[in-house]
Amino acid sequence: MSGSLLSIDGVWKEFHGHQVLRGIELEVQPHEVVSLIGASGSGKSTLLRCVNLLETVDDGRILLDGDEITDPRANVDDVRKKLGIVFQSFNLFPHMSVLENITLAPRQVHKVTKAEAEQSAHELLTRFGLEGKAKAFPDQLSGGQQQRVAIIRALATQPRLMLLDEVTSALDPELVREVLEIIRELKQSGMTMILTTHEMSFCRDISDTVCFLDGGVLLEKGPPEKIFTDPEHGRTRDFLRTVLEAGRF
């Protein structure tokens, strides 16, 4: 589709003879929020890792801003400058302060001056309610605060696209809300995002497009009101019924 920020074109990925992704086709438009849902092992996280070039695709291609990033000649470092990725484990450097964690990539990868990187970091910390934590170390923060710092660290490089992989799954329930509020704020600011989540009510509220993956196949996609109220496939209905019974709505 013309104007897509990200195009995933017939992507296949195999691990040890097992097809984890099977011909994925997906277009992501600028400022769109796309949620990937499905059971564990359906391929959601692997798809994000392929987009960030943490995994190589076996077939198909991925285009970012019209450039094929899965071309072996593509500069991986240049591609990742345009992407921010946040995992369920916070992956903060424990020996660095919050400020140092946030400014590391802008300074070393993007060659931003220390003063500029720190000014931007302080602005982001203030924006997301952590202005008093710049000098703190990760083990002095709650899980929710650590995940917020991880998101801020990804934002500090001013990415074109944010990838969020189950960013609330490692958090206690009372800490989930503060992280979801950050994602909601990012949507309001126009950030393009692809996220995997088991928080179905949040997914329904924030997404422009919801994709249901099953056994490595993108079985169904559409606006949240369609997917959650009138899904076409029985597998989608079964998954949503299971989620509802588990109290995840």
Domains and CATH numbers, the chain: 1-82+161-249 (3.40.50.300), 93-158 (no CATH)
pLDDT in tens, 120-135: 999 999 999 999 999 9
Question: How far, in Å, CA of 233 to CA of 218, rounded?
Answer: 11
- The pLDDT value recorded for residue 158 is 92
What pLDDT, on a 0 to 100 scale, did the predictor assign at position 236?
A: 96
Indicate whether 1 pLDDT > 50: no
Comparing C-alpha atoms, which of 192, 122, 199 is closest to residue 160? 192
User: Residue 133: what are its φ and ψ, rounded to 5°?
Assistant: -110, 10
- List all residues 6 or more positions away from 156 whose beta carbon is below 8 Å from its beta carbon: 102, 103, 105, 106, 117, 120, 121, 124
At residue 247, the pLDDT reads 66
Rounded CA separation 104/118 (Å): 10
What would the two tokens of residue 209 be? Answer: 């497009």
Residue 55 phi/psi, 5-degree rounding, is -130, 145
Mean pLDDT of 154-182: 88
3-class SS of residue 14: strand
Proportion of the chain in helix, strand, coil states, percent, rounded to 5: 40, 25, 35
Question: In the numeric block, which tokens belong to residue 59?
Answer: 């077939």
Which residue, 218, 243, 220, is CA-closest to 232? 220
Instruction: Give residue-wise pLDDT tens across range 46-93.
Output: 999 999 999 999 999 999 999 999 999 999 989 999 999 998 888 899
Is residue 2 scored above 60 in pLDDT?
Answer: no
What stretch of H or E contains 68? Answer: strand 67-68
Q: Is the pLDDT of residue 18 over 90?
A: yes
Q: Residue 249 above 70 pLDDT?
A: no
Helix (H, G, I), strand (E, B) or coil at 222: strand
Instruction: Classify residue 115 by burial, with Cβ atoms within 10 Å: 0-12, 13-18, 19+.
Output: exposed
Residue matched to tokens 């600028």:
30
Whole-number Å distance between alpha carbons of 235 and 138: 41
More confident residue, 244 or 232: 232
* pLDDT, the chain, mean: 93
**Tens of pLDDT, residues 193-237:** 999 998 898 899 999 999 999 999 999 999 999 999 999 999 999
From CA 149, how far away is CA 152, in angstroms rounded? 5
85-89, 98-102, 128-132, 183-187: the lowest-pLDDT one: 85-89
Query: Residues 191, 124: contact at Cβ < 8 Å?
Result: no
Residue 132, Cβ neighbours under 10 Å: how many?
A: 10
Tokens 């996609």, residue?
221
Do the strands 59-64 and 33-37 form a parallel or antiparallel pair, or are they unpaired?
unpaired
